[in-house]
Amino acid sequence: MSIVTLRLPEVKYCQENRPEKRPYCDGETFQHWGGVVKRVSDPHLGEVWVYRYRCCRCRRTFRHYPVGIDRARQTARMRALAAIGWILGMSYRCGSWYLSPLGIGLSRMYPGRIIPPKE
């Protein structure tokens, strides 16, 4: 019998290092311009720290997200879990049932919409 091991993407709580280069220009010097706690949908994390920086060259600000986090509310790990269910042939309804024990409520009517947990 074969065993299949799936490696889920790594997700970090906060970024350990400063950005080396700005995504839009060639600026390499940045000012720390604040940070915010972002709520995310993930089996292990509920929120992460996202830091904001200001480029000293072009004076524009940008966000520096931790590994596995981007603008979306779902983390890369959460999207991988949902994709595994889809690859296995699950419908949206089955996918929402399959993720609900992990504390993640996805709407089957509006894919990508988060359902708040019941209290």
Q: At what angle do helices 92-99 and 76-87 cross, to 10 degrees?
A: 130
For the entire predicted model, the pTM comes to 0.75
Q: How far apart are CA 106 and CA 42, in angstroms?
A: 11
Q: Above 90 in pLDDT, residue 22?
A: no
Q: Above 80 in pLDDT, residue 54?
A: yes
Q: How far apart are CA 6 and CA 74, in angstroms?
A: 19
- Other C-beta atoms closer than 10 Å to the C-beta of 65 total 17
Domains of the chain by residue range: 13-72, 74-119
Over the stretch 76-115, which tens digit does the pLDDT of each residue have?
998 888 888 888 888 878 888 888 887 777 766 655 555 5
Q: CA-based angle 60:46:39, to the nearest 5? A: 35
